[in-house]
Amino acid sequence: MTSLEKLVGSTGDGDNRNFGVDFVIHQLIPAQERTEAEAAFIQLIETLTKVGLATEVRAGSDNSLLIFTKIASWDFLAQQVYRSRLQDWLNGLRSSAPEREIRRALEDEPVTEAERSRIVYLLITKPQNDGGAGITPGNGQWRYIQSILPLHDHNFNKAWIKKWGQKYLLNQDDLDEIRDKFGEGVAFYFAFVQSYFRFLLFPSAFGLFAWLFLGKFSYFYALVNCLWSVVFFEFWKQKEVDMAVQWGVRGASQVQLPRPEFKWEYEAEDPVTGEPIKVYSPMKRIKTQLLQIPFALACIVVLGGVVVTCNSLEVYINEMYDGGGKAVLGLIPTILLSSLIPAFSAVLMKGAEVLTQWENYQNVDAYNAALIQKQFVLNFMTSYMALLFTLFVYIPFGEILIPFLNFWHSTAQVVSFNENPLPAKEFKINPARISGQMFYLTITAQIVSLLTQVVVPYVKRQVFAEAKKLSSKDTTPAVQDRPEEAEFLKRVRKECELEVYDVSTDYRQMVIQFGHLSMFSSAWPLAACCFLVNNWVELRSDAVKIAIGSQRPIPFRADTIGPWLTALGFLSWLGSVSSAAIVFLCGGSTDHERGTMSHISAWGVLSSVFLAEHFYFLVQMAVRYFMSKFESYGQQKERKERFLIKKRYLEETLGQGVAEQAATPGLTHGEKITREALEEQEREASIKGHASPEDLFWQRQRGVQETIIVGRSMIEKAVTEKGAGKPAQPSPRA
């Protein structure tokens, strides 16, 4: 292995089980479109070769091809790495340009596996006018390409899962390892969950204390919980900046990747660079974005209708119905919610995706941010609407549910086919209902979520694999594999069938959990304890999901958690409002007889919410002020880099000696400059034969020493004159 190959040749494949492959392109060959698919394959190979990639093709499964790619030469890869780092410097991601000599630059900063993989991926997918192949799976001439994926390093994955299974807490080295392997986008998620997990230790301990000694609906717990949510939010805002600086990706979100699906209207000249840019009318996008209003109303109507229907049925069965089979009938609302909400959510999520596509964003980050915002609104409704219904409808205004309860009672009477009236209890509001809902969400829902993320996909893959074996259709490759490649190709075919890992799904789960804690944990203080245990398992289950349950992630860069940071801030603020409402509405309702508007003081509710919200803002201001007094690692590193840049610029411009003198001239040097200037002015005046008043003013005293002597004499004279008219005072130092 050459020295240059050692610097840039690492693919993380220690025992060469991946044969040095960087990426696999999975292309389908439909039987009815064989000619078109063959032409697309030839064009693909030619395009990849033109951008400096070597290719090999093998047979896939189900009428498909596997095109293996790697960088053609180490020199070319080194040039691409250097070019990428130079571009980062021009875009402001790096404080200094890389060394002019490529080999020395790579020795000073070795290439990580994630950096190499990202550069190769960009070579494959970047537009051709940017030096890439412009391959976009599923679009246009590349419609037969199903996926572009890097291969898993199974030795690393096994060691990774084993190591994390034996550790209680992750450290910075663990996060750096993830960053070097899977990129900053995935590493930021694990850094966020780890920070969140550490912060959960306090509310877990305090929640246990509150549950034992303060009880539910405690004002003190609500205030402490609000304070905690503010501190965590402000801490993470600073933490992600420090992480971005440490990993050298501060400002990476400003470097936008073009979106292949973008449809431009016309080209215009960039007023700064003079280059042609593709333009889409902003007014058209705004008009499309206005469709979000009816879309949001439709979501509220559909999901709200399902929640109100199922919750009113649950209230009737649990608190009014007094007949037989109550334990079994109580499962009906849960079954309806569990089946209807995911079904409607899937349809609405698809609608959100279509609406975002209509908005026609030019770059990938803007598209993802817009889609995540819509998905968060939908997740907000599906996750919190039942609790908000209980808090703001059932508890204060329970009497408005009586028509719904009468409807369900009449329906039950008809369905029972019984002429005798069904037994029913008097309807009374039960404020403890919200505590039961929180218990379900923190225990049952977390377990179900873990099963659906890890266990269900694994079982589904096993079932599909067995179904393929039993199927009469022959799924074996048309060309027999060579013995030395058989195991490798079998593994690649399996990886092609895995789902693409989406880090936003994991972010969504953590942010929704944070919302439950900040908004509703006053109803059940043990929620933080359950979340603490869940997140310890979640960190490891997510690692398992990446290692064996999905394709290896593309190592995209990131310097923030993106739109989820805004969602955290919103939920933190909303938590102050909902916690105040919970404490006010439920705290004094031990008799379970509230539920009419006459028992609710609107002024009391508004006052508690108003005070809680202002307490939140005051705490936020105090936390920000306090944190601003401490220089974080990222701030210190940025300040140091700016100082070194200024120093280097002075040295390059003026020379090292002059730069040091310019920074601190000193007394002797300053005196020399002043005396020389005055002597020069005097010579000019003597040549002219006369001196101006300004020249005479500056020629009275020659040098620093004469100025000091004159000044001291003036001081002595002033003190003498003052002492003549007033008795001398003893010196304070005497």
Confidence at residue 124, expressed as pLDDT on a 0 to 100 scale: 93
Q: Taking 50 as the threshold, does the pLDDT of residue 76 lie above it?
A: yes
Q: Which residue has the tokens 């025992």?
A: 15
Q: What is the mean pLDDT of residues 118-126?
A: 92
* 25 DSSP β-pair partners: 67, 148
Q: Is the dihedral of CA 556, 559, 561, 566 positive or negative?
A: negative
pLDDT band at 660 (very low <50, low <70, confident <90, very high): low
Confidence at residue 600, expressed as pLDDT on a 0 to 100 scale: 62
Do 595 and 398 touch, CB atoms closer than 8 A?
yes
The residues, any chain, with a CB within 8 Å of residue 107's CB and separated by 6 or more, are 7
Return the SS3 of 728.
coil
Confidence at residue 23, expressed as pLDDT on a 0 to 100 scale: 94
53-59/145-149 β-pairing: unpaired
pLDDT band at 206 (very low <50, low <70, confident <90, very high): very high
Q: Taking 80 as the threshold, does the pLDDT of residue 468 lie above it?
A: no
Confidence at residue 145, expressed as pLDDT on a 0 to 100 scale: 93
Do 582 and 217 touch, CB atoms closer than 8 A?
yes
Confidence at residue 553, expressed as pLDDT on a 0 to 100 scale: 94
CA distance 333 to 437: 13
Q: Is the dihedral of CA 509, 511, 513, 519 positive or negative?
A: negative
Element (H, E) at 104: helix 102-108
CA distance 73 to 55: 12
Listed residue (322, 533, 507) closest to 412, CA to CA: 322
CA distance 237 to 245: 13
φ, ψ for residue 660, nearest 5 deg: -65, -40
Q: What's the gap between Cα 238 and its chain centre? A: 13
Where do the DSSP E strands lie in 496-558? none
Task: Using alpha carbons only, give the angle 366, 261, 135 rounded to the nearest 5 degrees.
Answer: 110
Element (H, E) at 149: strand 145-149
* Number of neighbours of residue 379 by Cβ within 10 angstroms: 19
φ, ψ for residue 562, nearest 5 deg: 75, -140
- Which DSSP letter does residue 123 get? H
Do 348 and 437 touch, CB atoms closer than 8 A?
no
Residue 341 or residue 618, greater confidence: 618
Confidence at residue 688, expressed as pLDDT on a 0 to 100 scale: 60
276-279/23-28 β-pairing: unpaired
The residues, any chain, with a CB within 8 Å of residue 182's CB and separated by 6 or more, are 114, 546, 552, 553, 555
Do 319 and 425 touch, CB atoms closer than 8 A?
yes
Contacts of 326-335 with C-beta under 8 Å, sequence gap 24+, read none
Least confident of 192-196, 410-414, 540-544, 580-584: 410-414
Least confident of 293-307, 358-372, 414-428, 500-514: 414-428
Do 507 and 561 touch, CB atoms closer than 8 A?
yes
- Which DSSP letter does residue 278 get? E
Q: What is the mean pLDDT of residues 596-617?
A: 75
* Number of neighbours of residue 177 by Cβ within 10 angstroms: 15
Token pair in block for residue 168: 């209680």
Do 121 and 523 touch, CB atoms closer than 8 A?
no
* Number of neighbours of residue 417 by Cβ within 10 angstroms: 6
Q: What is the mean pLDDT of residues 288-297?
A: 90
Listed residue (402, 250, 379) closest to 315, CA to CA: 402
User: In one letter, which amino acid is 419?
Assistant: E
- Which DSSP letter does residue 550 get? B
**DSSP code string of 620-669:** HHHHHHHHHTS--HHHHHHHHHHHHHHHHHHHHHH-HHHHHHHH---HHH
Confidence at residue 689, expressed as pLDDT on a 0 to 100 scale: 60
Token pair in block for residue 505: 């799904």
**117 vs 24, 125, 382, CA distance in Å?**
12, 12, 38
Element (H, E) at 680: helix 667-688
Element (H, E) at 277: strand 276-279
Least confident of 29-38, 55-64, 455-464: 455-464
Confidence at residue 501, expressed as pLDDT on a 0 to 100 scale: 92
* 266 DSSP β-pair partners: 279
Stated length of the chain: 734
CA distance 319 to 431: 12
φ, ψ for residue 272, nearest 5 deg: -95, -55
Mean pLDDT, the chain, as a whole number? 82
Confidence at residue 182, expressed as pLDDT on a 0 to 100 scale: 94
Least confident of 34-43, 302-311, 343-352, 635-644: 635-644
Q: Taking 90 as the threshold, does the pLDDT of residue 628 lie above it?
A: no
pTM for this predicted structure = 0.84
Q: Which residue has the tokens 């005070």?
A: 611
Confidence at residue 560, expressed as pLDDT on a 0 to 100 scale: 92
CA distance 435 to 127: 54
Longest dimension (CA), the chain: 130
List strands edge to edge, sheet with 145-149: 53-59, 64-71, 23-28, 145-149
Q: Taking 90 as the threshold, does the pLDDT of residue 198 lie above it?
A: yes
Q: Is the dihedral of CA 251, 9, 161, 484 positive or negative?
A: positive
Burial of residue 83 (CB within 10 Å: 0-12, 13-18, 19+) is: middle
Q: What is the mean pLDDT of residues 192-202?
A: 95
Which phi-psi region, left, alpha or beta, contains residue 63 (left: φ > 0; alpha: ψ -120 to 50)? left
The residues, any chain, with a CB within 8 Å of residue 539's CB and separated by 6 or more, are 164, 170, 190, 193, 194, 197
CA distance 157 to 546: 9
Over pLDDT 90: what percentage of the chain? Answer: 30
Q: Taking 70 as the threshold, does the pLDDT of residue 680 lie above it?
A: no
CA distance 411 to 4: 78
The model's pLDDT over 130-145, given as tens digits with 9 standing for 90+, comes to: 888 889 898 888 999 9
CA distance 632 to 239: 8
User: To 10 degrees, what angle do helices 219-246 and 633-654 make?
Assistant: 30
Q: What is the mean pLDDT of residues 398-406?
A: 76
Return the SS3 of 307.
helix
The model's pLDDT over 233-289, given as tens digits with 9 standing for 90+, comes to: 999 999 999 999 888 888 888 877 888 888 878 878 778 777 787 888 888 889 898
* Number of neighbours of residue 234 by Cβ within 10 angstroms: 19
* 279 DSSP β-pair partners: 266
Number of helical (H) and strand (E) elements in the chain, helices listed first: 28, 6
Do 361 and 259 touch, CB atoms closer than 8 A?
yes
Do 571 and 514 touch, CB atoms closer than 8 A?
yes
The residues, any chain, with a CB within 8 Å of residue 695's CB and separated by 6 or more, are 681, 682, 685
The model's pLDDT over 530-574, given as tens digits with 9 standing for 90+, comes to: 999 999 988 999 999 999 889 999 999 998 998 999 999 999 999
Confidence at residue 592, expressed as pLDDT on a 0 to 100 scale: 44
CA distance 406 to 513: 35
Do 704 and 674 touch, CB atoms closer than 8 A?
yes
The model's pLDDT over 682-711, given as tens digits with 9 standing for 90+, comes to: 666 665 666 677 766 777 777 777 788 888
